[in-house]
């Protein structure tokens, strides 16, 4: 004979598995390590400083 299956538990288990797969895919797509975030922030600060240094009209001269 077949085992009795609670459909609500089955649906929840399937939904959890689907959510975990979705979360894993999003972590791969969007996730960055702390070192990567800090490196990008430092690069942005350096780029902004470089651009500000090349301005023809300085903000303090106005």
What pLDDT score was predicted for residue 17?
98
Between 58 and 32, the higher pLDDT residue: 32
**pTM above 0.85?**
no
Average pLDDT for residues 29-36, to the nearest whole number?
Answer: 88
Cα 53 to Cα 4, 9, 37, 50, 62: the distances in Å are 73, 63, 24, 5, 16
């Amino acid at each position: 004979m077949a085992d009795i299956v609670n459909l609500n538990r089955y649906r929840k288990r399937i939904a959890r598995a689907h959510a975990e797969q979705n979360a894993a895919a999003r972590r791969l797509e969007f996730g960055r390590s702390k070192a990567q975030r800090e490196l990008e922030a430092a690069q942005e600060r350096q780029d902004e400083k470089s651009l500000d240094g090349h301005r023809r009209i300085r903000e303090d001269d106005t």
